[in-house]
Amino acid sequence: MVQQVSRFRRIVNVNVLPGEPLDGSGRVCIHLFVRDEKGTCVEPGAWHPVNDKLGNPIPRKIKTGPARGRLACDRKRKITPAIKNGVTTVTHRTEDPRAITCPKCMATEEYKAAMTKLGIPTEG
Query: Least CB distance from residue 95 to Zn ion, whole Å?
Result: 13
* Binding residue for Zn ion, selected from 34, 105, 111, 114, defined by CB under 5 A: 105
Q: Residues in contact with Zn ion, total (CB under 5 A)?
A: 5
Minimum separation from the CB atom of position 3 to Zn ion (A): 40
DSSP-H helix ranges across the chain: 103-106, 109-117
Could you tell me what percentage of the chain is helix, strand and coil, using 3-state DSSP and rounding each to the nearest 5? 15, 40, 50
| Binders in 20-39 for Zn ion, by CB under 5 A | 31
Q: Which stretches of the chain bind Zn ion, using CB under 5 A?
A: 31, 73, 102, 104-105
